[in-house]
Structure 1
């Protein structure tokens, strides 16, 4: 399929196959230019970015030229549009013009999705989404007191569009996808129903276009473009990963889970390298070194890991791309030239992470990528038997430092998570463990899919709030899946506990119900473990976690089938309803339930105090309720949803029907 130009009386249309992509008219130009005047502030991964563009220039005429189109102003060329197969490139010709606004054609009632991992809205219509990886914020809702407090404490409240993983790609219900092939700051703006606008901080932009007959084919094409993940290993999809961070006693606590009948795939101890206490809560000591501090926290760790392996239980750890200035590895990294530098000297650029400073490992430098992959992830982690880790952060690259390759940090910022993912994948590959060792990330950008085997939804608040609670996990998985991320999961129990916001038993139980129907089920003790309930705090909670871990294990054969679909077709494990039912526009905005593959539907309870919920059963043919065996016709139903029985349905004609039917027995054991 190629791009082609159709001249019109007052402009032109640019078509991709039979779909109009740009519709340029004198009264509504496809491209507008300006000169930027940005202001950028960063504080601990939270950014405030504004712009006051000047000298706005609107083309007044156009003409066809060799290789494309020239846009004119006062009869002089001011920009060019060139096409090559599915690639559209726009260049501003005037010096200093470094802001481009491109208006893509929109049709009435056209729905739009994408934007990377969006936590608040699956359908993007009516809103603008800045594409800039950052901390997502705490609360993420400017009408709430928690968000206002966090904003006052350090710009940390966030908003609906803040995300660890943005991506300048959008899909529409015309089954067309548009991808901005750039890492600079941009904004996807869908506030005008008459167009899909993209603002780009550059004098040149390149877009890639994709089209298909339906959403399944379109998602498959996009996943191939960005790279498909290696399949998850059997150990990761069968049973629960228990997250504990109480030092050596974590091993003793794990036994409680086993005695309670939990199906355990791995023990995850993010505090393996040590801890420090700060006003935010219990933080890790960012010195990825199996040395003195680690030995005090986890004596004889290598032997303990080997003992777990003998029992069929893996061990997972934690790392991020920063090194604490007061850690043992800092001097070695500085001496090897592995840190980003200040702009005014050759000193290491230090970033304040909240009561401690860190150097940023410079991944634009090959020697530094190799050093971190081998010295840290290889020798300190994989070589002692660690089977995977949380590859945290990646969003914090400041814009006021100096990079080894000379690139502009404003351009490098968004691609930093991709470089970080490459380093992790490189380490795993170096030990021949691709498809076995698993690291998981929250940060991302275009291309992270090819390297990161598993996403996690970041740091949700420990509550049911609309923009930062349990429900955002579903939205994040569905949106990220549309742009090529097959596997997503969350911190079972939530993470962020601040200003009196603590976990409840209800939240912990509901999160188990949700986590059991993700490809990976993993618990987290949160940022303030001593203030919050844990799954081993009470017998009832421990029993709850054990039950749902067995459900997760029971579904492993079906999840393996979904992993095969991800490998072969790039389809996500958790899917929006419209992916298999594209002819029903009412499904386009549904974000609180999902298809688990094509044959199972899960409608988790993500509201406080709810014992029933509205469930949409799509398509034709009956759906069978897992817990009662009752069959329901397609449509909208009010379904009982007591704790312990979230609405889950399956297709009775599925080849996996016998497996699904056995869920009731598993849950009752």
Structure 2
């Protein structure tokens, strides 16, 4: 039913074209449409008639303006950029969009509307407020768009439910859920991503609601034909992405919100964590046991117990009396140290705790509406909370990390940054959430309310940490991990999905959850392998390790009081399977690191749903238990107890079995064997996989590189391996090594061409093995700058082996039947 209380803009009274914008003034309010790029338009409707000024913490980037074409008549204004057109109805202010071929989408069902709203109309259930604060927080904007019957909706970030979001309602408000675990009925979680990707035959498009305020998306839940957006804040502001493919929408989104940061190579290795490894002796023992058991390891995470009374930026003098020596000992074993940092600063003004004293004196903490510093309870007791909207506060907070970085710490883990706060000591009778008041003031001049900035808190904390790291170690890439975030957090941090459970359901949930995060621009993501809450057990742990091998961020983590969850904790059989899974991760690192470079340059997710690579195969779009790892690998995890085989839908392509190298007969589906320790993995025809040797950690050099080529019967394939020094910043100035590979189709002879290495970085010498997986068909190998080498395989021949020298590398070429 239409809301009779809504105000609407009414007819366009006047309009003005600027080089990259249209300003249309209605009877009430202003519509402003900006040409952000040839395939992106930004739409703003301002009931006040004046757009809100840009904030210093705005999650979007300012892109170079694109010329906007405008023509008009009495009925409508027509707007166009190269790949997107729009029509603004002059009578009522509704908009419709189309790509140049005339395919229409995102049509308004009614003009934008607004009215005063109350706290009770929102789902802000944890707030102690009795009403919304005065001002923009009380003005709600509504917009409904037509949903095409054949359209499916994806994205909306960190959710525990199905990959396809149609028929559900979502709110965007970061919160530390208390299920515990990732229950399917939960809505809000630690991160907020008000963006979706709509996919229908021959078209994908996207919409990003550029509002950090509380907002909702009703994706056909109330009306099966209507997508309804709602936001507080007194202004409607959204970006419209033209697609026309899912990959194009993700590219467009990350052009607006920022490309993912390039992680150091070690961050893609295996991480071990627990709440908590509570002493330096325990940390040393964990690292030593990994080495003794010959299990690769790149990082150990230190949870809250390394601190002195949970005071951030301190070390406990009894349990970690010599942190520099502790970290140095880890480094000697090739292991990096990652330390947790919470935003809550203990309100300790009597013991010389400078973080609290200086922060209060310099007014770095969030203040109540009346002006006094806000305090709430977290791990250290009563605590104060930095105002990360302040430029000076972000710099001050970043500088505090010197207490950790000077000890040699390699990464920063931002936790509890929704922020999660309670009203009394943890565990005390009657304890309940006590969020920051919605009217609390933020910003350099106190220009914003908590109601506006709440969703940005985790992102701005991660930004402060990353910027502080960059100032103190200007020659190294920062690595920050965050629990909470908003769109754009990928510029500063990797993310994990918070406190899941040791159960099969949360293993299954991780698949659509991480795939959805990738569609929203956060590509370096993972979940706690084995589960955080509760006790894991052998079969579940083995299966979780299998799929965790392919998470972009691979960390094993669990809570205090749970049973041990290290790889050897479940007996020799599971230890062997876990060792093999982690070793496979290290073999995959050259491929995964290349994917990280691609993500950094164009936003391309490492882990993604089938719809990303096969947008024309509509029957595969809702499949969420098979995922692509880059463009060349597909995994089909096992997420139920006792299962030893499973149905695998095969997308339209040629497929090979990764473990056997055998080509799979052409078919739409198959039953794949999946004994424990053997996750079904498939390689796409035309793939050229770049694999490395097993290493104890990435601190050891890559001594072997294997090129596995899988020719397609009809189509050529190509791949470019990207390498750099793994940790520095020289990649920004040409310090890369890029080597391009091409494999011709089987019908064309399966010629494999290896181009000469390009770029300013020269990897250490290593042995190169090239394997071409072929049936009984001819094959050629070409190397630019070298003699042409050719062979033909037959059933009676052994695999051909040719050794040659290339820039100090010893190369060996095999043909594998």
Aligned-partner SS, 1:567: helix
- CA distance in 2: counterparts of 1:552 and 1:230, whole angstroms: 21
Match of 1:643 among 676, 679, 700: 676
| Equivalent residue, structure 2, for 1:577 | 610
Give the C-alpha shift of residue 131 in structure 1: 0.9
Give the C-alpha shift of residue 111 in structure 1: 0.6
Counterpart contact for 1:232–1:435, Cα < 8 Å: no
- The two structures, once aligned, show a CA RMSD in angstroms of 3.1
Aligned-partner SS, 2:298: strand
Give the C-alpha shift of residue 633 in structure 1: 3.1
| Equivalent residue, structure 1, for 2:460 | 419
Are residues 221 and 13 of structure 1, via their aligned partners in 2, closer, same or farther at CA, if it must alter by over 3 Å?
closer
| Equivalent residue, structure 1, for 2:278 | 246
| Equivalent residue, structure 2, for 1:83 | none
Give every structure 1 segment of 4 or more consecutive aligned residues whose post-TM-superposition deviation is greater than 6 Å.
8-11, 40-43, 48-52, 94-97, 660-663
2:342 is the alignment partner of 1:320? yes
Q: Which has the higher contact order (CA 8 A, sep 6+)?
A: 1
Give the C-alpha shift of residue 13 in structure 1: 5.1
Match of 2:377 among 352, 355, 358: 352
| Equivalent residue, structure 1, for 2:224 | 193
Match of 1:476 among 487, 510, 513: 513
Give the C-alpha shift of residue 634 in structure 1: 4.6
Give the C-alpha shift of residue 16 in structure 1: 4.1
Are residues 351 and 413 of structure 1, via their aligned partners in 2, closer, same or farther at CA, if it must alter by over 3 Å?
same
Give the C-alpha shift of residue 177 in structure 1: 0.9
Match of 1:399 among 427, 437, 440: 437
Match of 2:161 among 120, 138, 154: 120
| Equivalent residue, structure 2, for 1:342 | 368
Match of 2:409 among 386, 400, 408: 386
2:687 is the alignment partner of 1:654? yes
Question: Which runs of structure 2 are paired with 1:26-41 in the superposition (5 Å)?
Answer: 29-39=110-120
Give the C-alpha shift of residue 659 in structure 1: 5.5
Counterpart contact for 2:302–2:340, Cα < 8 Å: yes
- CA distance in 2: counterparts of 1:353 and 1:475, whole angstroms: 31
Question: Which runs of structure 2 are paired with 1:482-631 in the superposition (5 Å)?
Answer: 482-497=519-534, 502-524=535-557, 526-531=558-563, 533-540=565-572, 541-626=574-659, 629=662, 631=664
Deviations 1:602-627 (A, max 9, x none): 12222233222222221221232425
Question: Which runs of structure 2 are paired with 1:217-232 in the superposition (5 Å)?
Answer: 217-232=248-263
2:390 is the alignment partner of 1:365? yes
- CA distance in 2: counterparts of 1:637 and 1:488, whole angstroms: 30
Ranges in structure 1 where 5+ consecutive residues have no aligned partner: 53-93, 142-146, 148-157, 276-284, 664-669
Ranges in structure 2 where 5+ consecutive residues have no aligned partner: 1-80, 420-434, 691-705, 710-768, 772-817
Counterpart contact for 1:349–1:401, Cα < 8 Å: no
2:498 is the alignment partner of 1:458? yes
Give the C-alpha shift of residue 364 in structure 1: 2.2
| Equivalent residue, structure 1, for 2:485 | 444
Aligned-partner SS, 1:176: strand
Deviations 1:202-236 (A, max 9, x none): 33211111112311122112112111122121222
Counterpart contact for 1:624–1:631, Cα < 8 Å: yes
| Equivalent residue, structure 1, for 2:210 | 181
Counterpart contact for 2:438–2:449, Cα < 8 Å: no
Deviations 1:541-577 (A, max 9, x none): 4434322221111100111221121122210100111
Give the C-alpha shift of residue 300 in structure 1: 1.1
Counterpart contact for 2:284–2:330, Cα < 8 Å: no
- CA distance in 1: counterparts of 2:247 and 2:676, whole angstroms: 33
Q: Which TM-score applies when normalising by structure 2?
A: 0.66
Deviations 1:70-107 (A, max 9, x none): xxxxxxxxxxxxxxxxxxxxxxxx99982222012221
Counterpart contact for 1:263–1:550, Cα < 8 Å: yes
- CA distance in 2: counterparts of 1:547 and 1:260, whole angstroms: 12
Match of 1:236 among 253, 267, 288: 267
Deviations 1:121-152 (A, max 9, x none): 221100011011112442568xxxxx7xxxxx
2:431 is the alignment partner of 1:431? no
- CA distance in 2: counterparts of 1:559 and 1:226, whole angstroms: 23
Q: Which TM-score applies when normalising by structure 1?
A: 0.79
| Equivalent residue, structure 2, for 1:14 | 96
- CA distance in 2: counterparts of 1:649 and 1:50, whole angstroms: 55
2:311 is the alignment partner of 1:287? yes
- Greater gyration radius: 2
- CA distance in 1: counterparts of 2:397 and 2:192, whole angstroms: 25
Are residues 169 and 42 of structure 1, via their aligned partners in 2, closer, same or farther at CA, if it must alter by over 3 Å?
closer
Match of 1:102 among 132, 135, 143: 143
Counterpart contact for 1:102–1:198, Cα < 8 Å: yes
Counterpart contact for 2:346–2:380, Cα < 8 Å: no
- CA distance in 2: counterparts of 1:133 and 1:389, whole angstroms: 21
Counterpart contact for 2:482–2:495, Cα < 8 Å: yes
Aligned-partner SS, 2:672: strand
Counterpart contact for 1:272–1:317, Cα < 8 Å: no
Aligned-partner SS, 1:478: helix
- CA distance in 1: counterparts of 2:536 and 2:263, whole angstroms: 30
Deviations 1:490-534 (A, max 9, x none): 21211123xxxx22112211121111112332221x223454544
Counterpart contact for 1:116–1:445, Cα < 8 Å: no
Counterpart contact for 2:487–2:521, Cα < 8 Å: no
Counterpart contact for 1:462–1:493, Cα < 8 Å: yes
Aligned-partner SS, 1:134: coil
Counterpart contact for 2:155–2:517, Cα < 8 Å: yes
Of the structure 1 ranges 306-315 and 174-183, higher mean CA displacement relative to structure 2 is found in: 306-315
Are residues 226 and 49 of structure 1, via their aligned partners in 2, closer, same or farther at CA, if it must alter by over 3 Å?
farther
2:233 is the alignment partner of 1:202? yes
- CA distance in 2: counterparts of 1:394 and 1:553, whole angstroms: 31
Counterpart contact for 2:94–2:110, Cα < 8 Å: no
- CA distance in 1: counterparts of 2:105 and 2:665, whole angstroms: 41
Are residues 166 and 289 of structure 1, via their aligned partners in 2, closer, same or farther at CA, if it must alter by over 3 Å?
closer
Give the C-alpha shift of residue 241 in structure 1: 4.3
| Equivalent residue, structure 1, for 2:748 | none
Counterpart contact for 1:272–1:318, Cα < 8 Å: no
Are residues 402 and 325 of structure 1, via their aligned partners in 2, closer, same or farther at CA, if it must alter by over 3 Å?
same
